[in-house]
Amino acid sequence: MRYILPAVLISTVMFGCGGPKNTDLNPGANDKTIESMPDWFLDKPSDPSYLFASATMTSRDLQMALTKSKTQAQRDLAEQLGTKLGALTKQFREEVGAQEDSELIESSTEAIKLVTQQTLNGARIDKKEITPKGASTAPMC
């Protein structure tokens, strides 16, 4: 009887959680998803008087997926209006040792920063499609 209680507690700790229950919020596109994608999503219309953008995001919550995809599309529109691009490159060279025993160490890093700041007056979602994907939702705006 002394050993039954610890054995029950250990088995409860080991098996009680049932393993991980994660939802992949960045699922890869499968053939069915690509085939069912609307034409307007991939082939955006072209008109010199208007700007067009499309975006898709996933979430377990429908409203979060809609908000994320709308924000992504708005970002794309703002980038079409204007983006400031800044770049920083750092190069470092160091020689260690003397004469034939010397060693040259080189290092280079690069950082690129995009800054977009635009006011989008009158921007609206023209077409929207919501596709359920298991436990997540993938709207296309």
Split the chain (141 residues) into runs of 10 and give each run's mean pLDDT.
Answer: 47 48 60 71 82 83 86 86 85 85 88 84 81 58 51
Residue 91 falls within a domain, yes or no? Answer: yes
State how far the Cα of 4 lies from the Cα of 79, in Å rounded to an integer: 66
Compute φ and ψ for 11, nearest 5 degrees: -65, -35
In a domain, 55, yes or no: yes
In three-state secondary structure terms, 32 is: helix
2 in a structural domain:
no
| Count of domains forming the chain | 1
- Residue 122 is predicted with a pLDDT of 81
pTM here? 0.52
Domain that holds residue 86: 33-95+104-140
In a domain, residue 28? The reply is no
Q: Say how far apart CA 139 and CA 73 lie, in whole Å.
A: 12
Q: Which two tokens stand for residue 64?
A: 């979060």
13 inside domain:
no
pLDDT of 33: 64
Per-residue pLDDT at 109: 92
| Residue with the two structure tokens 């750092």 | 90
Residue 15 maps to a domain: no
- 71 is a domain residue: yes
